[in-house]
Amino acid sequence: MSREYSEAGDHLVSRQPVILSRYRWFTRLNHWTIAITTILLMLSGLAFYSPALYGLTALFGGGQNARWLHPFLGLVLAVGYLLIFIQLVPRNLPRRDDVVWVKHIRDVMDQNEEKLPTLGKYNAGQKFVFWAMGLLILTLLGTGIMIWQEYFPDLVSIPDRRLAMLAHSAAAILMLLVFILHVYAAIWTRGTIRAMTRGSVTGGWAFRHHRKWLREVAGRSRRETSN
C-alpha cells in the first residue's frame, strides 16, 4: 500500500473510540500564526485602501504604526507559509483522485460522501487553497518589496511601482476571497476545526472524508504494534 498520504507524525491515538493524530503542534502553531497574521494584514490593508476604513488603524495604535507594521507582518506571513509549504507540499500534489472529486463537486456540496472517491490526507479543494495561498503570498511579497519605499526607494521606477501597487491590491483581494473560502469550508465540514485546535480527528470523520489516509495510518499502526 502507498505511504504517500500520511505524515510521519500521523498515528492512532486511541482505538476506543478511534482517534487519529492529524497535525503536530508545530504545524498547528504555524497555521494559527499564518491565520492571525493574515487577518492583521487584511485589516491594515483595508485601512489603507479607503479613507472610509481608515478608522481600522486604531487597532494598531494609529496610521503611522499600521503603515510601519504592515510590511513586517507580510514578512512574517511569507516565512510562516514557506515553512508550512515545505512540510505539506508532498501531500498537496495533484492526483487522479482530485479530478474525480472535482467532477463530483455537486455531491461534495450535497455531502453525498458515498459517491466520492476515497481520498488521501487532502481533497482537491484543500489543495486549491494551499496552492492559491502560496501563489498569492509570493505575489504579495514581490510587489510589497517593490512598493516598500522606506527600505527600497530606488528598486523600481515610479511607473513600475504604480503597477506593483495595482498588482498588490488585486492579489490582496483574491487572497481575502480564498481566506473566506477556507474558513467557510472548515466550518461547513464538521470536525475539521478540531484538527487544528486539538491536533486530532475522530475515526468516523477520517472514514467519511479521507478514507485512504485512514487506511494508511491504521495499517502503519498495526505494523508498528506487531513489531
- DSSP conformation class of 12: E
Q: Which three cell numbers stand for residue 120?
A: 488521501
- 210 included as an active-site residue: no
Distances (CA, A) of 143 to 59, 70, 85, 126, 184: 25, 13, 20, 26, 28
Could you give the CA distance from residue 192 to residue 121 in angstroms, rounded to a whole number? Answer: 12
Could you give the CA distance from residue 148 to residue 71 in angstroms, rounded to a whole number? Answer: 8
Q: Which three cell numbers stand for residue 48?
A: 489603507
Count of other CB atoms within 10 angstroms of residue 204:
12
Cβ neighbours of residue 26 under 8 Å, at least 6 residues apart? none
SS3 (DSSP) at 13: strand
**Sign of the torsion angle spanned by Cα atoms 86, 187, 181, 115:** positive
**Catalytic site residue from 70, 182, 209, 210:** 182
Positions marked catalytic: 182
